[in-house]
A = this chain, B = another copy of it.
Amino acid sequence: MTDILHRVGIKSSPDEVFKALTTREGLAAWWTSNTQGDGKVGGMLKFRFSAAGSEIGGFDMKVLELQPTKLVLWQVVDGPQEWIGTKIRFDLKQSGDHTIVLFKHQEWKEAVEFMYHCSTKWAYFLLGLKAGLEGGTATPYPEDEKISNWG
């Protein structure tokens, strides 16, 4: 088992960051504009990367746990084989004028090359989340930078 880890500090309140991780509108503003579903506990979130006809599919996540302004935990129930069963966890805490986001995409079975790609891409989207909440420009799919031949 191996994990992808990231940390960003966002000059925004824990409440605003929590909304960006738990509402359809919030998620669509930084990860993929094609976000559907329900961010409440027990709900399913559907993230799609296909608006422009790309064959890249998407991810279905079950919301396992929420602790308002502190924790968001999802489990991948459908998507690329390597993602199924993995969990995605956001821990939030305040530090001065920053809300710190500790991100963990955990329980990958193997450190396959696709995991390397996803790690870099997560960093990119999390920096977009930060930018968007600080009054700059987030870059959700399909406006995201293509970081390689894999998108």
**What interface size band does chain A fall in?**
20 to 34
* CB-defined contacts of A102 to chain B, threshold 8 Å: 113, 116
Q: Which of A70-125 contact B (CB under 8 A)?
A: 95-96, 98, 100, 102-104, 111, 113, 115-117, 119-120, 123-124
Interface check A4, CB cutoff 8 A: yes
Q: Say whether B100 contacts A148, CB under 8 Å.
A: yes
Select one of B8, B116, B145, B149 contacting A148, CB under 8 A.
Answer: B8
A134 to chain B minimum Cβ distance, whole angstroms, is 11
**A interface with B by C-beta (< 8 Å):** 2-9, 95-96, 98, 100, 102-104, 111, 113, 115-117, 119-120, 123-124, 126-127, 130, 145, 147-150
Among all A-B residue pairs, the 9 with the closest Cβ atoms: A9-B148, A123-B123, A7-B116, A5-B116, A6-B120, A7-B117, A120-B123, A9-B149, A98-B149
Q: A7-B148, A103-B116, A120-B127 are in contact. List 17 more A-B contacts (CB 8 A).
A: A3-B111, A4-B119, A5-B115, A6-B119, A7-B119, A8-B120, A8-B148, A9-B147, A9-B148, A95-B149, A98-B149, A100-B149, A104-B116, A124-B127, A127-B145, A127-B147, A130-B147
